[in-house]
Amino acid sequence: MGWLWIPSNCPPNNWIVRETDEQLMQRVIAISTFPEVLDQRLWNGKEMKPEVRTKSLQIVNNLVATMRLSADPNDGLSRSNITVGSVELFGSNASYEYDDAADYGVHVFMQNADTNKISLNDLENYLRIFNSFVELSQEGKILFNGIIVEITFHAEPRGDSYKPKPGIGQFSITDNKWIVEPIAQPNNFDRDQMLKDARGFVDKWNTLVCQYFSDPLNFDCGLFDDFDDEMGDYRAKAFDAGLGSRSTGNLTYRMLRRLSVNIPDGVDLLEELCEYRKLSVYGATPQVEVAPASQVVFENGTAQFSVQAFGANPITYQWVHNGIDIPGATSSTLLVNKISSKEEGLYAVRLTSNGMSTTSNPARLTLIPGRMTTLASNRTNDPSKNGFNLEVVAPLGQPFVVEGSTDLIHWKPLANLLGTGVTVPMRVRNGVNDPQSTFRINLP
- Please report, rounded to a whole number, the percentage of residues in the chain having pLDDT higher than 90: 55
Rounded to the nearest integer, the mean pLDDT of the chain is 85
**pLDDT over 70 (residue 7):** no
Query: How crowded is the C-beta side of 284, counted as CA atoms within 13 Å?
Result: 4
* H helix intervals, 181-257: 191-214, 222-240, 248-256
Higher pLDDT, 290 or 108: 108
Identify the weakest region by mean pLDDT among 302-311, 326-335, 346-355: 302-311
Banded pLDDT at 8 (limits 50, 70, 90) = low
Predicted local confidence at residue 372, as pLDDT: 44
Predicted local confidence at residue 431, as pLDDT: 44
Query: Global pTM?
Result: 0.66
Predicted local confidence at residue 338, as pLDDT: 86
CA-based angle 11:14:20, to the nearest 5? 95
Helix, strand, coil % over all residues of the chain, rounded to 5: 30, 30, 45
**pLDDT over 60 (residue 389):** no
Predicted local confidence at residue 163, as pLDDT: 86
Identify the weakest region by mean pLDDT among 69-78, 370-379, 411-420: 370-379
Predicted local confidence at residue 374, as pLDDT: 40
What does DSSP assign to residue 196? Answer: H
Q: Average pLDDT in the 390-417 region?
A: 67
Q: What is the CA radius of gyration of the chain?
A: 24
**pLDDT over 60 (residue 47):** yes
For residue 230, give the nearest of 207, 253, 213, 248 by alpha carbon. 253
* Range among 221-230, 334-343, 410-419, 424-433 rated most confident: 221-230
- Tens of pLDDT, residue by residue over 156-208, are 999 888 888 777 899 999 999 999 999 999 999 999 999 999 999 999 999 99
Banded pLDDT at 297 (limits 50, 70, 90) = confident
Predicted local confidence at residue 408, as pLDDT: 66
Predicted local confidence at residue 287, as pLDDT: 84
**pLDDT over 70 (residue 443):** no
Give 381's contacts (C-beta < 8 A, 6+ positions apart). 388, 435
* Range among 159-163, 268-272, 336-340 rated most confident: 268-272
Q: Average pLDDT in the 20-29 region?
A: 91
Q: Average pLDDT in the 8-30 region?
A: 85
Higher pLDDT, 140 or 423: 140
Predicted local confidence at residue 267, as pLDDT: 96
Predicted local confidence at residue 422, as pLDDT: 45
Predicted local confidence at residue 314, as pLDDT: 81
Predicted local confidence at residue 42, as pLDDT: 96
* Range among 5-9, 327-331, 383-387 rated most confident: 327-331
Banded pLDDT at 265 (limits 50, 70, 90) = very high
Banded pLDDT at 81 (limits 50, 70, 90) = very high
For the chain, the distance separating the N- and C-terminal CA atoms, rounded to the nearest angstrom, is: 22
Helix (H) or strand (E) holding 123: helix 120-138
Higher pLDDT, 348 or 366: 348
Predicted local confidence at residue 437, as pLDDT: 63
- Is the domain spanning 287-368 CATH 2.60.40.10? The answer is yes
Q: Average pLDDT in the 31-43 region?
A: 92
Structural domain boundaries in the chain = 21-33+186-279, 43-180, 287-368, 380-442
- Please report, rounded to a whole number, the percentage of residues in the chain having pLDDT higher than 70: 83
Predicted local confidence at residue 213, as pLDDT: 85
Contacts of range 430-434, beta carbons closer than 8 Å, 24 or more positions apart: 430/404, 432/404, 432/405, 432/406, 433/386, 433/387, 433/388, 434/406
Banded pLDDT at 429 (limits 50, 70, 90) = very low
Q: Average pLDDT in the 236-255 region?
A: 93
Q: Average pLDDT in the 143-154 region?
A: 93
Predicted local confidence at residue 10, as pLDDT: 79
